[in-house]
């Protein structure tokens, strides 16, 4: 066993017994972060299932977080909150246990609802639907449709240069994301349960796509022969966004009450319900019912999903649950009223749902998870003694 492994094991023990110092906790957090996308090994004398090991490590910390929680809000700030956020977000870490007697490394699976991944379908103009590869992160639409690594998308034939452009549609299921590079070079990241429709070639006058669901756009500037920029428009049920060259996030799920466009950089013009508004960076245009208004926001809270994270800050309890439901392909049922609770903090999206739901435990929310029927029932706030 390496000296580093021994040190980590000692820190895990101290963490579990509540004797860890602030400095030692920072070392343990740094170790967690250094293994976000790798497999980490913890050496023990006995075989433990990874779920048991994670739960054992989390128990003490979560208890202390719960004890420090105010009545109406669940913060994850300060050294204690940072630790909670990191541990809740050990998304990329797979704990493995070394059986020192047999000299074998064993990995155990968890019976749980697993996170989403790269999943999408491409529908051609003739109605043919192609299931895109889950081993690829995205596709490129050019003269031919290929994956990001240059491999052709099988049977994805589109109109040739001397024919009229065809309409294409990329759709992600619940629990799926995919990246699309449009014919003009614009990059689009499609979130779970979303559909984007676009032509196989844009016209010289305008670039128009339609969106249902959520997507992050990095629009490429394209110019006409006279030097003017060709506008880029995104149409949704509630808003029309026109941009020249910018980065923004658009959330337009049909089941939600509001359509939200969040500007990261550049400038966009919003047309909604007869109103015309200009959106600046770090602002969000919200269209609800017959009104559109602009508010200042932390754009990270609305774009973290593109980086593989949940960000719960600035969102209602129901919005948070909807986001979790789409990613894990869950049905959310409220047994009583929606809790008046605001969860805060981050969590990586590539962990099993069990660890995301730790937030509910700490926030004193009663819930029931039916894995076989993929249903999460929110019962309500736990009774205080």
Where are the domain boundaries for CATH 3.55.50.30 in the chain? Answer: 307-381
pLDDT at residue 241, rounded to an integer: 95
Give the global pTM: 0.73
Q: Is the pLDDT of residue 167 over 60?
A: yes
What is each CA distance from 383 to 128, 154, 353, in whole angstroms? 54, 56, 24
3-state secondary structure of 109: coil
Q: Is the pLDDT of residue 106 over 90?
A: no
Helix, strand counts (H, E) of the chain: 8, 28
pLDDT at residue 87, rounded to an integer: 45
pLDDT at residue 163, rounded to an integer: 79
Which residues have a Cβ under 8 Å from the Cβ of 339 and sit 6 or more positions away?
A: 317, 365, 378, 380, 381
pLDDT at residue 209, rounded to an integer: 98
Of 110-114, 185-189, 283-287, the least confident: 110-114
Average pLDDT estimate for 349-363:
83
Q: Is the pLDDT of residue 262 over 60?
A: yes
pLDDT at residue 32, rounded to an integer: 58
pLDDT at residue 159, rounded to an integer: 66
pLDDT tens across 23-32, in order? 776 676 666 5
3-state secondary structure of 269: strand
Architecture of domain 117-301: Sandwich (2.60)
Average pLDDT estimate for 171-178:
97
pLDDT at residue 346, rounded to an integer: 82
Of 4-8, 104-108, 220-224, 269-273, the least confident: 104-108
d(CA 115, CA 108): 17
Of the pLDDT bands very low, low, confident and very high (cuts 50, 70, 90), residue 110 is very low
pLDDT tens across 31-87, in order? 655 554 433 443 344 444 444 444 444 444 444 444 444 433 443 333 334 444 444
∠ at Cα 176 (171, 181), nearest 5°? Answer: 55
Please list the residues that pair with 276 across neighbouring strands: 271
Q: Which fold has domain 307-381?
A: Phage tail protein beta-alpha-beta fold (3.55.50)
What is each CA distance from 123 to 31, 55, 119, 147, in whole angstroms? 44, 43, 14, 15
CA end-to-end distance (rounded Å), the chain:
47
**Average predicted confidence (pLDDT) for the chain:** 79
pLDDT tens across 209-258, in order? 999 999 999 999 998 888 888 999 999 988 999 997 799 999 999 999 89
Where are the domain boundaries for CATH 2.60.120.1440 in the chain? Answer: 117-301
Of the pLDDT bands very low, low, confident and very high (cuts 50, 70, 90), residue 356 is confident
Average pLDDT estimate for 100-106:
38
pLDDT at residue 75, rounded to an integer: 39
Q: Are 277 and 294 in contact (CB under 8 A)?
A: yes
Q: Is the pLDDT of residue 16 over 60?
A: no
Nearest Cα residue to 90 out of 346, 334, 293? 346
Please report, rounded to a whole number, the percentage of residues in the chain having pLDDT higher than 70: 71
Q: Is the pLDDT of residue 362 over 90?
A: no
d(CA 180, CA 182): 6
Average pLDDT estimate for 287-311:
92
Nearest Cα residue to 342 out of 365, 326, 324? 365
Of 17-21, 119-123, 151-155, 223-227, the least confident: 17-21
């Amino acid at each position: 066993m390496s000296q580093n492994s021994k040190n980590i094991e000692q820190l895990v023990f101290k963490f579990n017994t509540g004797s860890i110092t602030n400095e030692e906790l920072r070392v343990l957090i740094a170790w967690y972060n250094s293994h976000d996308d790798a497999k980490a090994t913890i050496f023990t004398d006995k075989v433990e299932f990874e779920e048991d090991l994670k739960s054992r490590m989390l128990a003490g910390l979560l208890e202390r977080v719960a004890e420090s929680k105010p009545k109406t809000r669940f913060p994850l700030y300060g050294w204690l909150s940072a630790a909670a956020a990191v541990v809740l977000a050990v998304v990329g870490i797979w704990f493995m246990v070394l059986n020192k007697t047999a000299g074998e490394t064993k990995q155990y699976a968890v019976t749980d609802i697993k996170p989403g991944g790269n999943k999408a379908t491409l529908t051609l103009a003739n109605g043919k639907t192609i299931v895109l590869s889950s081993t690829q992160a995205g596709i490129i639409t050019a003269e031919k449709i290929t994956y990001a690594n240059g491999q052709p998308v099988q049977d994805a034939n589109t109109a040739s240069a001397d024919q009229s452009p065809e309409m294409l549609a990329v759709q992600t299921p619940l629990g799926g994301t995919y990246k699309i590079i449009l014919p003009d070079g614009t990059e689009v990241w499609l979130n779970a349960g979303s559909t984007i429709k676009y032509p196989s070639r844009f016209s010289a006058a305008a670039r128009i796509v339609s969106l249902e669901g959520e997507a992050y756009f990095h629009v490429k500037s394209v110019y006409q022969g006279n030097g003017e920029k060709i506008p880029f428009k995104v149409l949704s049920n509630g808003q029309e966004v026109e941009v020249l060259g910018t980065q923004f996030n658009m959330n337009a799920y049909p089941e939600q009450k509001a359509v939200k466009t969040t500007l990261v950089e550049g400038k966009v013009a919003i047309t909604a319900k007869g109103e015309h508004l200009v959106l600046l960076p770090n602002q969000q245009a919200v269209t609800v019912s017959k009104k559109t208004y602009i508010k200042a926001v932390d754009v990270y809270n609305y774009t973290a999903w593109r980086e593989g994270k949940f960000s719960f800050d600035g969102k209602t309890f129901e919005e948070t649950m909807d986001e979790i439901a789409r990613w894990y392909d869950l049905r959310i049922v409220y047994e009583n009223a929606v809790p008046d609770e605001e969860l805060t903090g981050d969590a990586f999206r590539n962990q099993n749902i069990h660890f995301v739901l730790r937030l509910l435990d700490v926030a004193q929310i009663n819930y029931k998870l039916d894995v076989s029927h993929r249903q999460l029932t929110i019962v309500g706030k736990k009774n205080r003694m």
